[in-house]
Structure 1
Amino acid sequence: MGCHSLGENDVGPRHRGVVGRMAGAVPDYAYSAALRQSGLLWTPANLDKWLTNPQKLVPGAKMYFSVAKPQDRADIIAYLAQQK
């Protein structure tokens, strides 16, 4: 996954169980204040917005990488939803 993994924090926080989790809630990861305070719930719709443009959804977040193609975003979200 590049900056993320399913089981351990890396450059980004671990992603196992991300769908349905509050943003900024993985222990032992140094989130930006913007993401910790966002009150964002990682629903499929919010993950799509995040992957489209993370800085638009949460200005000041650490993530700048985006996924341009809608089908690629849908595939990523479907994969993450299976990782409980």
Structure 2
Amino acid sequence: MASGVSKLAQVIAERIASQTQRPDVLELGTIQPDMSLKIDRFAVPIPVGEYLLCTGLTLQIGDRVLIGWVNDYTDPVVISKVVSS
């Protein structure tokens, strides 16, 4: 029985490790004065033209935005603007 518990604990630990190694699917960022995208957890802004925008979304300097990651976490997409309540 101890071996079954040990295997279960190992599977749980592996699942937790695999989940924590992936970046968040959604996160927040800010549009910079040069219209680059500064993601909160990333020090270097993403230049304009290297991130995607949802259709109809117009951005201005200083806008807080919600970003979704697609294509196996390689392409950031600005989904919407966010405001405080």
TM-score over 0.5 (shorter chain): no
TM-score by length of 1: 0.24
Q: TM-score, normalised by structure 2?
A: 0.24
Q: Which has the higher helix share?
A: 1
Between Structure 1 and Structure 2, the one with more strand by share is: 2
Question: If you compute each CA radius of gyration, which structure gives the higher value, 1 or 2?
Answer: 2
